[in-house]
């Protein structure tokens, strides 16, 4: 009796099933939905059932991707910081190489306002509001990402300090500047059809921040 040849094995990893291929998309959908709900309602007032419902999943589906709601909160913050770092790097790359330190700070502040207040800006406000809801080890992971994000600001602030435009010590000035900028998520409201009164746009906020922190450029 002739022995049938065994089918050839495909080299490399086995092909993923359709469900496995979609796992990354589902995880990302959960993170985005959680960011929106945590921003709108607060972490404590949002259930995993609500998050699952927003993306059309079964109530227990989030736990296939995350151990618990706190892990999902961490994922929201990590995603927000990674996006902010990537966008800041892109913004710095397109700025002119010969820009003064004053103009470099303008780019950094304008980008930061976009991260805080622009389109798809749910992630970072969640980090600012819900920091205390993380476990200590989780806070350490976010602090490392924050340090990476803030690192490009330090040489710019130092250059401004060297010229006398920034008169406060650089380390303290960095903390005060981020504190002031981040607080804008508490009070800023863009103009809208239901609120047509004049509101500052993000460029105007940037100019005001520069006037507040620095002396006029020479």
Taking only the tens place, the pLDDT of each residue in 169-185 is: 999 999 999 999 999 99
**Alpha-carbon dihedral angle through residues 187, 189, 112, 72, given to the nearest 10 degrees:** 80
pLDDT value at position 217? 64
Residue 94: pLDDT band by 50, 70, 90 thresholds? confident
Domain of residue 136 covers: 70-213
- Provide the mean pLDDT of the chain: 85
Asked whether residue 48 is assigned to any structural domain, the reply reads no
Asked whether residue 19 is assigned to any structural domain, the reply reads no
Asked whether residue 163 is assigned to any structural domain, the reply reads yes
Asked whether residue 166 is assigned to any structural domain, the reply reads yes
Asked whether residue 34 is assigned to any structural domain, the reply reads no
Lowest mean pLDDT segment, chosen from 2-6, 26-30, 79-83, 130-134 = 2-6
Q: Report the number of distinct structural domains present in the chain.
A: 1
pLDDT (mean) for 111-137: 91
pLDDT value at position 19? 43
Asked whether residue 183 is assigned to any structural domain, the reply reads yes
The DSSP result for 11-77, as a single string, is: SSSPPPPHHHHHHHHHHHHHHHHHHHHHHHH-STT--HHHHHHHTT--TTTHHHH-SSHHHHHHHHH
Taking only the tens place, the pLDDT of each residue in 178-218 is: 999 999 999 988 766 665 555 788 999 999 999 999 987 66
* pLDDT above 90: residue 59: no
Asked whether residue 37 is assigned to any structural domain, the reply reads no
CATH of the domain at 112: 1.10.357.10
Give, as one character, the DSSP assignment of residue 190. Answer: -
Asked whether residue 168 is assigned to any structural domain, the reply reads yes
pLDDT value at position 174? 95
* pLDDT above 70: residue 21: no
């Amino acid at each position: 009796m002739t022995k049938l040849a065994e089918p050839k094995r495909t080299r490399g990893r086995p092909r993923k099933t359709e469900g496995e291929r979609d796992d990354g998309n589902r995880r990302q959908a959960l993170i985005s939905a959680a960011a929106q709900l945590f921003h709108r309602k607060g972490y404590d007032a949002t259930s995993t059932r609500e998050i699952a419902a927003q993306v059309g999943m079964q109530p227990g589906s989030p736990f296939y991707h995350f151990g618990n709601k706190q892990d999902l909160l961490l994922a929201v913050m990590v995603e927000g910081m990674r996006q902010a770092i990537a966008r800041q790097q892109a913004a710095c790359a397109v700025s002119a190489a010969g820009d003064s330190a004053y103009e470099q700070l303008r780019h950094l502040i304008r980008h930061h306002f976009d991260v805080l207040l622009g389109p798809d800006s749910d992630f970072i406000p969640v980090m600012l509001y819900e920091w205390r809801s993380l476990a200590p080890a989780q806070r350490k992971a976010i602090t490392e990402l924050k340090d990476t994000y803030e690192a490009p600001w330090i040489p710019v602030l130092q250059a401004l300090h060297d010229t006398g435009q920034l008169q406060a010590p650089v380390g303290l000035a960095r903390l005060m500047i981020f504190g002031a900028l981040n607080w804008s998520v508490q009070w800023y409201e863009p103009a809208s059809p239901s609120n047509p009164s004049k509101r500052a746009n993000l460029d105007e906020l940037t100019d005001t921040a520069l006037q507040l922190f620095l002396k006029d450029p020479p």
